[in-house]
Protein backbone atom coordinates (compact mmCIF):
# COMPACT_ATOMS: atom_id res chain seq x y z
CA UNK A 1 0.00 0.00 0.00
CA UNK A 2 2.84 2.33 0.87
CA UNK A 3 4.32 1.90 -2.60
CA UNK A 4 0.95 2.45 -4.15
CA UNK A 5 0.47 5.75 -2.29
CA UNK A 6 3.98 6.87 -3.20
CA UNK A 7 3.24 6.24 -6.87
CA UNK A 8 0.00 8.17 -6.57
CA UNK A 9 1.74 11.20 -5.04
CA UNK A 10 4.47 11.05 -7.72
CA UNK A 11 1.89 10.85 -10.49
CA UNK A 12 -0.01 13.81 -9.07
CA UNK A 13 3.22 15.78 -8.88
CA UNK A 14 4.11 14.92 -12.50
CA UNK A 15 0.55 15.72 -13.61
CA UNK A 16 0.78 19.12 -11.94
CA UNK A 17 4.04 19.85 -13.73
CA UNK A 18 2.51 18.71 -17.04
CA UNK A 19 -0.52 21.02 -16.66
CA UNK A 20 1.78 23.91 -15.76
CA UNK A 21 3.88 23.23 -18.87
CA UNK A 22 0.77 23.12 -21.11
CA UNK A 23 -0.49 26.42 -19.68
CA UNK A 24 2.93 27.96 -20.29
CA UNK A 25 3.08 26.81 -23.91
CA UNK A 26 -0.52 27.91 -24.51
CA UNK A 27 0.30 31.37 -23.16
CA UNK A 28 3.30 31.63 -25.47
CA UNK A 29 1.15 30.62 -28.44
CA UNK A 30 -1.43 33.28 -27.61
CA UNK A 31 1.34 35.86 -27.27
CA UNK A 32 2.76 34.76 -30.61
CA UNK A 33 -0.61 35.15 -32.30
CA UNK A 34 -0.99 38.64 -30.86
CA UNK A 35 2.46 39.64 -32.09
CA UNK A 36 1.75 38.18 -35.54
CA UNK A 37 -1.56 40.00 -35.69
CA UNK A 38 0.12 43.29 -34.83
CA UNK A 39 3.07 42.78 -37.18
CA UNK A 40 3.17 45.02 -40.25
CA UNK A 41 1.62 43.33 -43.29
CA UNK A 42 3.92 42.60 -46.20
CA UNK A 43 2.91 43.34 -49.76
CA UNK A 44 1.60 40.70 -52.14
CA UNK A 45 4.28 38.59 -53.75
CA UNK A 46 3.13 38.53 -57.38
CA UNK A 47 4.70 36.38 -60.05
CA UNK A 48 4.52 38.72 -63.02
CA UNK A 49 5.89 36.20 -65.52
CA UNK A 50 3.35 35.33 -68.19
CA UNK A 51 1.04 38.23 -67.34
CA UNK A 52 -0.08 40.78 -69.97
CA UNK A 53 1.31 44.24 -69.30
CA UNK A 54 1.86 47.71 -70.71
CA UNK A 55 5.02 49.74 -70.19
CA UNK A 56 8.79 49.48 -70.32
CA UNK A 57 10.49 46.39 -68.93
CA UNK A 58 12.82 48.63 -66.89
CA UNK A 59 9.98 50.50 -65.13
CA UNK A 60 10.52 50.46 -61.34
CA UNK A 61 6.85 50.27 -60.35
CA UNK A 62 4.40 47.43 -61.01
CA UNK A 63 0.70 48.32 -61.03
CA UNK A 64 -1.80 45.45 -61.01
CA UNK A 65 -5.50 45.72 -61.71
CA UNK A 66 -7.87 42.88 -60.83
CA UNK A 67 -10.94 43.22 -63.02
CA UNK A 68 -14.04 41.56 -64.45
CA UNK A 69 -15.05 42.26 -68.06
CA UNK A 70 -18.72 42.43 -67.03
CA UNK A 71 -18.09 44.89 -64.20
CA UNK A 72 -19.45 48.38 -65.07
CA UNK A 73 -17.09 50.01 -62.57
CA UNK A 74 -14.17 48.33 -64.34
CA UNK A 75 -15.45 49.70 -67.63
CA UNK A 76 -15.58 53.18 -66.14
CA UNK A 77 -12.07 52.73 -64.71
CA UNK A 78 -10.78 51.67 -68.12
CA UNK A 79 -12.44 54.68 -69.74
CA UNK A 80 -11.70 57.47 -67.28
CA UNK A 81 -9.05 56.47 -64.73
CA UNK A 82 -6.69 54.30 -66.79
CA UNK A 83 -5.85 56.92 -69.50
CA UNK A 84 -4.36 59.15 -66.78
CA UNK A 85 -2.31 56.24 -65.43
CA UNK A 86 -1.11 55.54 -68.96
CA UNK A 87 -0.14 59.15 -69.54
CA UNK A 88 1.58 59.81 -66.20
CA UNK A 89 3.24 56.49 -65.47
CA UNK A 90 3.21 53.97 -68.32
CA UNK A 91 4.26 56.26 -71.16
CA UNK A 92 6.88 57.98 -68.98
CA UNK A 93 8.58 54.70 -68.09
CA UNK A 94 7.75 54.93 -64.38
CA UNK A 95 5.42 51.93 -64.21
CA UNK A 96 4.32 48.70 -65.85
CA UNK A 97 0.59 48.02 -65.78
CA UNK A 98 -0.65 44.44 -65.43
CA UNK A 99 -4.19 43.09 -65.76
CA UNK A 100 -5.27 40.05 -63.74
CA UNK A 101 -8.69 38.43 -63.74
CA UNK A 102 -11.28 38.28 -60.99
CA UNK A 103 -14.36 37.02 -62.87
CA UNK A 104 -17.20 36.86 -60.36
CA UNK A 105 -20.36 38.42 -61.81
CA UNK A 106 -21.62 35.58 -63.99
CA UNK A 107 -20.50 32.46 -65.83
CA UNK A 108 -19.66 34.52 -68.90
CA UNK A 109 -17.33 36.66 -66.81
CA UNK A 110 -15.17 33.55 -66.52
CA UNK A 111 -15.62 32.77 -70.21
CA UNK A 112 -14.49 36.27 -71.18
CA UNK A 113 -11.49 36.08 -68.86
CA UNK A 114 -10.44 32.69 -70.26
CA UNK A 115 -10.89 33.95 -73.83
CA UNK A 116 -8.77 37.03 -73.14
CA UNK A 117 -6.04 34.88 -71.58
CA UNK A 118 -6.14 32.71 -74.71
CA UNK A 119 -5.73 35.78 -76.91
CA UNK A 120 -2.63 36.69 -74.91
CA UNK A 121 -1.17 33.18 -75.15
CA UNK A 122 -1.85 32.68 -78.85
CA UNK A 123 -1.43 36.18 -80.30
CA UNK A 124 0.75 38.02 -77.80
CA UNK A 125 0.67 41.14 -75.67
CA UNK A 126 -0.32 43.64 -78.37
CA UNK A 127 -3.37 41.68 -79.51
CA UNK A 128 -4.44 41.12 -75.92
CA UNK A 129 -4.62 44.83 -75.12
CA UNK A 130 -6.52 45.60 -78.32
CA UNK A 131 -9.06 42.91 -77.43
CA UNK A 132 -9.12 44.02 -73.78
CA UNK A 133 -10.00 47.62 -74.64
CA UNK A 134 -12.51 46.67 -77.33
CA UNK A 135 -14.31 44.19 -75.08
CA UNK A 136 -14.77 46.80 -72.34
CA UNK A 137 -16.09 49.28 -74.91
CA UNK A 138 -18.74 46.75 -75.96
CA UNK A 139 -19.99 46.08 -72.44
CA UNK A 140 -23.80 46.63 -72.47
CA UNK A 141 -25.09 49.71 -70.68
CA UNK A 142 -28.22 48.08 -69.24
CA UNK A 143 -27.59 46.81 -65.71
CA UNK A 144 -29.94 43.86 -66.33
CA UNK A 145 -27.30 42.28 -68.58
CA UNK A 146 -25.31 41.18 -65.50
CA UNK A 147 -27.63 38.19 -65.05
CA UNK A 148 -27.72 37.38 -68.76
CA UNK A 149 -25.15 35.31 -70.64
CA UNK A 150 -23.88 38.05 -72.97
CA UNK A 151 -20.26 37.04 -73.54
CA UNK A 152 -20.87 33.89 -75.53
CA UNK A 153 -18.06 32.27 -77.48
CA UNK A 154 -19.41 33.65 -80.76
CA UNK A 155 -19.69 37.16 -79.29
CA UNK A 156 -16.09 37.05 -78.04
CA UNK A 157 -14.88 35.73 -81.39
CA UNK A 158 -16.65 38.58 -83.20
CA UNK A 159 -14.99 41.13 -80.91
CA UNK A 160 -11.57 39.60 -81.53
CA UNK A 161 -12.20 39.54 -85.28
CA UNK A 162 -12.59 43.34 -85.14
CA UNK A 163 -9.20 43.62 -83.44
CA UNK A 164 -7.34 41.08 -85.59
CA UNK A 165 -8.46 38.91 -88.55
CA UNK A 166 -10.28 35.67 -89.34
CA UNK A 167 -7.21 33.42 -89.26
CA UNK A 168 -6.01 34.70 -85.89
CA UNK A 169 -9.51 34.53 -84.47
CA UNK A 170 -9.90 30.89 -85.51
CA UNK A 171 -6.54 30.10 -83.93
CA UNK A 172 -7.68 31.60 -80.61
CA UNK A 173 -11.10 29.92 -80.73
CA UNK A 174 -9.49 26.52 -81.25
CA UNK A 175 -7.12 27.03 -78.30
CA UNK A 176 -9.98 28.37 -76.19
CA UNK A 177 -12.06 25.26 -76.86
CA UNK A 178 -9.09 23.18 -75.71
CA UNK A 179 -9.11 25.13 -72.42
CA UNK A 180 -5.46 26.13 -72.81
CA UNK A 181 -5.89 29.22 -70.62
CA UNK A 182 -7.04 27.31 -67.52
CA UNK A 183 -3.69 27.41 -65.71
CA UNK A 184 -3.28 31.16 -66.30
CA UNK A 185 -6.79 31.90 -65.08
CA UNK A 186 -6.34 29.65 -62.04
CA UNK A 187 -3.17 31.55 -61.21
CA UNK A 188 -5.01 34.89 -61.21
CA UNK A 189 -7.84 33.51 -59.10
CA UNK A 190 -5.37 32.05 -56.59
CA UNK A 191 -4.20 35.60 -55.87
CA UNK A 192 -7.81 36.67 -55.36
CA UNK A 193 -8.21 33.99 -52.69
CA UNK A 194 -4.86 34.59 -50.99
CA UNK A 195 -5.29 38.35 -50.86
CA UNK A 196 -8.97 38.33 -49.90
CA UNK A 197 -9.98 40.48 -52.87
CA UNK A 198 -13.75 40.98 -52.92
CA UNK A 199 -14.40 43.74 -55.46
CA UNK A 200 -13.30 45.05 -58.83
CA UNK A 201 -11.37 46.95 -59.85
CA UNK A 202 -8.81 46.35 -57.11
CA UNK A 203 -5.37 47.90 -57.62
CA UNK A 204 -1.95 47.04 -56.23
CA UNK A 205 1.21 49.12 -56.44
CA UNK A 206 4.41 47.13 -55.98
CA UNK A 207 2.42 44.51 -54.13
CA UNK A 208 0.54 46.90 -51.83
CA UNK A 209 -3.19 47.40 -52.20
CA UNK A 210 -4.37 50.88 -53.14
CA UNK A 211 -6.84 52.10 -50.52
CA UNK A 212 -7.28 55.68 -51.68
CA UNK A 213 -10.21 57.29 -53.49
CA UNK A 214 -8.77 59.81 -55.94
CA UNK A 215 -6.25 60.03 -58.75
CA UNK A 216 -4.12 62.23 -56.51
CA UNK A 217 -4.06 59.48 -53.88
CA UNK A 218 -2.96 57.02 -56.53
CA UNK A 219 -0.25 59.32 -57.92
CA UNK A 220 1.15 59.78 -54.43
CA UNK A 221 1.30 56.02 -53.88
CA UNK A 222 3.06 55.39 -57.20
CA UNK A 223 5.58 58.18 -56.61
CA UNK A 224 6.36 56.84 -53.14
CA UNK A 225 6.81 53.34 -54.56
CA UNK A 226 9.22 54.68 -57.17
CA UNK A 227 11.26 56.44 -54.47
CA UNK A 228 11.42 53.22 -52.44
CA UNK A 229 12.92 51.47 -55.46
CA UNK A 230 15.60 54.15 -55.74
CA UNK A 231 16.87 53.55 -52.19
pLDDT tens, 7-50? 334 434 433 433 333 333 333 333 332 333 333 345 789 999 99
Mean pLDDT of 171-191: 97
46 found inside a domain? no
Total number of domains constituting the chain: 2
Q: Rounded to two decimals, what is the model's pTM?
A: 0.80
Mean pLDDT value across the chain? 84
CATH number of the domain residue 101 falls in: 3.40.30.10
Are residues 112 and 209 both part of a single domain?
yes
Are residues 74 and 97 both part of a single domain?
yes
Domain span including residue 224: 53-230
Are residues 143 and 210 both part of a single domain?
yes
48 found inside a domain? no
What is the spatial distance between Cα 50 and Cα 176, in angstroms, rounded to a whole number?
17
Q: What is the pLDDT, as a whole number, of residue 31? A: 30
154 found inside a domain? yes
The model's pLDDT over 111-152, given as tens digits with 9 standing for 90+, comes to: 999 999 999 999 999 999 999 999 999 999 876 777 788 999
Contact 125, 97 (CB under 8 A): no
45 found inside a domain? no
Are residues 23 and 87 both part of a single domain?
no
Are residues 80 and 105 both part of a single domain?
yes
Are residues 141 and 28 both part of a single domain?
no
113 found inside a domain? yes
What strands lie across the sheet with 202-205, from one edge to the other? 53-54, 95-101, 61-67, 202-205, 208-209
Are residues 75 and 133 both part of a single domain?
yes
Category of 128 on φ-ψ map: left (φ > 0), alpha (ψ -120 to 50) or beta: alpha
88 found inside a domain? yes
Contact 68, 109 (CB under 8 A): yes
Q: What is the pLDDT, as a whole number, of residue 148? A: 84
Taking CA atoms, 29 is separated from 23, 25, 40, 42, in Å, by 10, 6, 19, 22
Are residues 119 and 209 both part of a single domain?
yes
141 found inside a domain? yes
CA-CA-CA-CA torsion sign (45, 47, 51, 55): positive
Are residues 101 and 14 both part of a single domain?
no
Are residues 34 and 148 both part of a single domain?
no
Has residue 64 got a pLDDT over 80?
Answer: yes
| Contact partners, residue 132, CB within 8 Å, separation at least 6 | 52, 99, 116
24 found inside a domain? yes
Window from 63-77, 100-114, 139-153 with minimum mean pLDDT:
139-153
Are residues 201 and 95 both part of a single domain?
yes
Mean pLDDT of 163-191: 97
Mean pLDDT of 157-175: 98
Q: What is the pLDDT, as a whole number, of residue 143? A: 66
Are residues 78 and 11 both part of a single domain?
no
Has residue 65 got a pLDDT over 50?
Answer: yes
- pLDDT higher at 35 or 159: 159
Q: 10 Å Cβ neighbour count for 20? A: 10
Amino acid sequence: MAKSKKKSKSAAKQSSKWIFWIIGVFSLCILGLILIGNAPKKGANFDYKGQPYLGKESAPVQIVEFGDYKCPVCKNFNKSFFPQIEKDFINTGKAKFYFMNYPFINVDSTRAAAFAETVYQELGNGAFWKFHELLYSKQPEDAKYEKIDVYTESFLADVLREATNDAQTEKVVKAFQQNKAKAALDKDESYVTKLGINSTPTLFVNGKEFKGNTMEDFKKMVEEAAKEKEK
